[in-house]
Structure 1
Amino acid sequence: MIHFLVGLPTWMLIRTFGILSYLTLFLGMSLGIIYSFPQIKGHKKGQVLRWHTYANVTGTCFALLHTVLLIIDTFMPFDWAELVIPFTAKHNPILNGIGTLAMYGILLVLFTTDIRNKLKRKIWLAFHLLSYPIFALSLLHGTLIGTDSKQGWAILMYFGTAAILVSLTVLRFQFSARKRQLKVRSSNL
């Protein structure tokens, strides 16, 4: 079994799982924002929520695989302490620590979502809004330490995903502002 694990193309798998994690978490976050749009109703709203959840769980699994494979990588192996304790890695401790913090953040958001019915809405929402800084940490980790981050496709991917999330967030705030204005108008009548 050890020979099989050591014989795996770990560096390629680590990179692939890292990118897949980033993209599926981006998709999950985008769907979470879209879920709040007033145009999404009924059956569509349920579908968006299911895909949001599926993408986030899948992205977390990819992130865990990305992390665990670093243990058996023969080119640049990490020990468990370097992966579990932020900013202790021998190689790029700050950037790897950012990745570790992002992983903990993802797990925290998923856990608090699982116990959502036991939390007050404001508390759950505060944890859920951590998705934004977690995404920023993931973006920093990928762009600054990713071995492919200087490639044109990777630059386009990182820039494009960030631009889409910013745009969706702006739209979300615009819809919220309109909703508040309508409530104020209707209460004044």
Structure 2
Amino acid sequence: MSAVGSEAFWDFGRGSGVVALLLLTTSVVLGVSARSGRPLPGLPRFAVTEVHRNVSLLASVFLGLHVVLLLFDPYAQLRLFDLVLPFAGNYRPFWQGLGTVALDLMVALVVTSLLRHRIGRRAWRAVHWASYGLWPVALLHSLGTGTDSATPWFLGVNALCVLAVLGTLGWRLSTRFPKRREVRA
């Protein structure tokens, strides 16, 4: 493969990973918001759930693109079993392993979401709680594996993701949140 071809795989692999992280962050924010039972400004409650689903699927597509592109990249040195067996990779094994864990969790979330009506709401919800572990694992993977991880723009993207998720969780857990107030009263 030419140097230009392998560089393109690396660039598109990195870019799709950043987009996947941004979409995953958006999905977590929308998921927490949808679970709150309140509409977001400009969106009725049912629309928040629909947008959450669609953003989640789009995040899955970009994650898949990220992985497939890096399978063909000679620098990343991904092998097929690296996609299911964490911490066995050739390139930064710990950080790559976190990516494998995130991928495996994403697959479990997608599969159970597609089978939601067959497995039941309780089983689906139990697996869906894994999304709260998936997001920080994916974030750490991006910080440890990415060649751009020390650049100001990338640190800014990660800081924005962290602020968005922590802000949403803080809002959801706050005492001003109506359901929390009812429980405390």
TM-score tier (shorter):
0.7 to 0.9
What is the total number of aligned residue pairs between the two structures?
182
2:154 match: 154
Report whether the alignment pairs 1:26 with 2:25. yes
Question: In 2, are the aligned partners of 1:6 and 1:72 still within 8 Å (CA)?
Answer: no
Instruction: Give the residue type in structure 2 aligned to 1:13.
Output: F
Consecutive aligned runs of 4 or more in structure 1 exceeding 4 Å deviation: 5-8
> Secondary structure at the residue paired with 2:150?
coil
1:184–1:97 distance in 2 versus 1, CA, 3 Å = closer
1:144 match: 144
Moved more, 80-89 or 16-25: 80-89
Instruction: Give the residue type in structure 1 aligned to 2:171.
Output: L
1:67-78 superposed matches below 5 A = 67-78=67-78
C-alpha distance in 2 between matches for 1:22 and 1:52 = 14
1:117 match: 117
Gaps of 5+ in 2: none
Instruction: Give the residue type in structure 2 aligned to 1:165.
Output: V
TM-score normalised to structure 2 length: 0.86
C-alpha distance in 2 between matches for 1:38 and 1:176 = 14
Give the drift of 1:184. 7.5
> Secondary structure at the residue paired with 1:154?
helix
Give the drift of 1:95. 0.9
1:42-57 superposed matches below 5 A = 44-57=44-57
C-alpha distance in 1 between matches for 2:169 and 2:184 = 23
Question: In 2, are the aligned partners of 1:6 and 1:74 still within 8 Å (CA)?
Answer: no
Report whether the alignment pairs 1:12 with 2:37. no
> Secondary structure at the residue paired with 1:90?
coil
Instruction: Give the residue type in structure 2 aligned to 1:28.
Output: S
C-alpha distance in 2 between matches for 1:175 and 1:31 = 20
Moved more, 29-38 or 149-158: 29-38
1:122–1:176 distance in 2 versus 1, CA, 3 Å = farther
> Secondary structure at the residue paired with 1:160?
helix
Question: In 2, are the aligned partners of 1:10 and 1:69 still within 8 Å (CA)?
Answer: yes
Residue by residue, what CA displacement relative to the aligned partner does 1:57-93 show, whole Å, maximum 9, x if unpaired?
1111111111111221133432222333211111211
Give the drift of 1:18. 0.5
Instruction: Give the residue type in structure 2 aligned to 1:29.
Output: V
Gaps of 5+ in 1: none
